[in-house]
Amino acid sequence: MLFAIKTYSFSKEERLKSRKLIETLFREGKAFSVFPYRVVYMPLTEPCKYPVQVGFSATTRRFPHAVDRNRIKRLGREAWRLQKQALYDHLRSQSQQLAVFLIYTDKKIADFSTLQDKISVILKKLQNSI
């Protein structure tokens, strides 16, 4: 009997870092909002080890202190890491890949439980839109 192993890691290859890919994503990708996030996504054409590459951002205008921006991104990455498995399984079953970018738009730092709820809504929307 074969069991699916849940991995709660968030490795370097899962992070969206390619400037070229990010520019293409913002130029050609689709977007939706789930407050406090604006989500931009598009299917990937080049093969990658993981089904999703994701990036997180918080604006300097709303959070002038780097400590606050880093905290927001860290909380978002943690919420993503804990809940991503359902989306990954769905994409693997359809052999698809995505590039996703989440931009934090609120003016104050939300607590982790709120962000976890919003990330789960985002994951369900991404799953349904594909």
> Which pLDDT score is estimated for 5?
54
Residue with tokens 């994409």: 91
User: How many Å apart are CA 61 and CA 63, to the nearest integer?
Assistant: 6
> Which pLDDT score is estimated for 33?
97
Domains in the chain: ranges and CATH: 19-128 (3.30.230.10)
Tokens of 125: 């929307």
> Which pLDDT score is estimated for 2?
46
> Which pLDDT score is estimated for 45?
85
> Which pLDDT score is estimated for 47?
83
Tokens of 15: 């992070």
- pLDDT averaged over 10-residue windows placed end to end, the chain, 130 residues: 64 93 96 97 89 96 97 97 93 93 96 97 94
- The CA–CA distances, whole Å, from 70 to 67, 90, 99, 118, 119 equal 5, 30, 21, 18, 17
> Which pLDDT score is estimated for 1?
45
